[in-house]
Amino acid sequence: MEKSKIGSRFEGKVAIVTASTQGIGFAIAERLGLEGASVVISSRKQKNVDEAVQTLKAGGIEVFGVVCHVSNEEQRKNLISKTVQKYGKIDVVVSNAAANPSIDTILQTKESVLDKLWEINVKASILLLKDADPHLKKGSSVVIISSIAGYHPPASMAMYGVTKTALLGLTKALAADMAPNTRVNCVAPGFVPTNFASYITETDAVRKSLEEQTLLNRLGTTGDMAAAAAFLASDDASYITGETLVVAGGMPSRL
């Protein structure tokens, strides 16, 4: 997408996006950056951070990269403090990191895996926002990335789905906690072919069956998710808080 063809809703704003060196997080960072934000991107591997910074810079985006494994306390604190040192403030936080380490049924899932899912998918968001909160002023905004799987945890990723259900509740609870200065909303993506969800396009049969579960007969794109996250983070959504936007081509979610 070209900078000149989209809006400028984030001119003068500073946005942190976690897990943003590829996939949905990268697309969100790119979208916010193209709309004028200074974006702080992060993920576990320095090499990925460096490459993503280069790509975004080449697109004319003001970007700063920091290594941050979201379940590492020191790295989370460093992400916040480096952002404030460099840009002086934080306007937007997008909490996007997740793990899906198991395909076991819930009762078969090892305790260590239950802990990891809770740590990365839920607890790390809370702890990151705890550190960011003192810097979030009136008009700031948080977007949490859940999943369509949060509404109907599928057997093949049941506990992952349950952690995503928790994020729907967390969005409501944090919206109350952080009001009135900070709005907190959530995006629940449908199926988007990324590394994380590479099974989606492994065979034509799988791809087709997933497409057929949508009303729009297609998988989602990272750009679809970025557009929704950017809307919720922007002042266009200034009277929306505590809500989840399902971006899943009409897949069943809730009334």
Binders of ligand NAP among residues 170 to 189 (CB under 6 A) are 189
Instruction: List the one residue from 140, 147, 214, 244 that touches ligand NAP (CB under 6 A).
Output: 147
Query: Any contact of residue 192 with ligand NAP (CB under 6 A)?
Result: yes
Alpha-carbon distance of 230 to 102, in angstroms, equals 31
Number of residues that bind ligand NAP (CB under 6 A): 28
Alpha-carbon distance of 190 to 226, in angstroms, equals 13
Question: Shortest distance, CB of residue 190 to ligand NAP, whole angstroms?
Answer: 7
Smaller CB distance to ligand NAP: residue 141 or 147? 147
Alpha-carbon distance of 246 to 175, in angstroms, equals 17
Angle subtended at Cα 235 by Cα 232 and Cα 236, rounded to the nearest 5 degrees: 70
Query: Any contact of residue 24 with ligand NAP (CB under 6 A)?
Result: yes
R_g (Cα) of the chain, nearest Å: 17
Alpha-carbon distance of 121 to 99, in angstroms, equals 6
Smaller CB distance to ligand NAP: residue 118 or 196? 196
Using the contact rule CB under 6 A, the part of the chain among 58-66, 90-98, 178-186, 208-216 near ligand NAP is 90-98
Contacts of 228 (CB under 8 A, 6+ apart): 187, 245, 247
In the block, tokens 């040192």 appear at 85
**Active-site residue, from 87, 160, 199, 239:** 160
Question: Does the bond joining 180 to the residue before it have cis omega, within 30 degrees of 0?
Answer: yes
Query: Any contact of residue 93 with ligand NAP (CB under 6 A)?
Result: no
**Is residue 199 flagged as an active site residue?**
no
Q: Which residue type, as a one-letter code, is found at position 245?
A: L
Instruction: List the one residue from 15, 70, 158, 159 that touches ligand NAP (CB under 6 A).
Output: 70
Smaller CB distance to ligand NAP: residue 43 or 140? 43
Instruction: List the one residue from 44, 77, 89, 172 that touches ligand NAP (CB under 6 A).
Output: 44
Query: Any contact of residue 221 with ligand NAP (CB under 6 A)?
Result: no
Count Cβ atoms below 10 Å from residue 19 Cβ, excluding itself.
28
Contacts of 82 (CB under 8 A, 6+ apart): 40, 64, 66
- Catalytic positions: 160
Which positions lie near ligand NAP, rule CB under 6 A? 18-19, 21-25, 43-45, 48, 68-71, 96-98, 120, 145, 147, 189, 191-192, 194-197
